[in-house]
Amino acid sequence: MVPPVQVSPLIKFTRYSALLVGMLYGKTRYDYLKPVAEEERRIESEEKKKREELERIAKELAEASEDSILK
């Protein structure tokens, strides 16, 4: 087994700095995108409600027209 290699303090500092910068960037990006995604979900749910209401009305009209044709 080979003994561990001494890593330069500059390389260690650079690696941990890059890790920290990446974590900070991820947090700020998440905080920026979170409200956008919430707005998209809200709009999508409103559209889904409208679509379901239109489907319900179409179904009622189809049932009403079937009843009138059969009678």
Domain segments of the chain as ranges: 13-71
Enter the pTM of the model.
0.59
Residue 69 has pLDDT above 60, yes or no: no
pLDDT band for 1, please (50, 70, 90 cuts): confident
Residue 71 has pLDDT above 70, yes or no: no
pLDDT at 16: 98
Which DSSP string do the residues of the chain spell out, in sequence order?
Answer: -PPPPPPPHHHHHHHHHHHHHHHHHHHHHHHHHHHHHHHHHHHHHHHHHHHHHHHHHHHHHHHHHHHHHH-
pLDDT at 70: 52
pLDDT digits 0-9 by tens, 26-68: 999 999 999 999 999 999 999 999 999 999 999 888 887 776 6
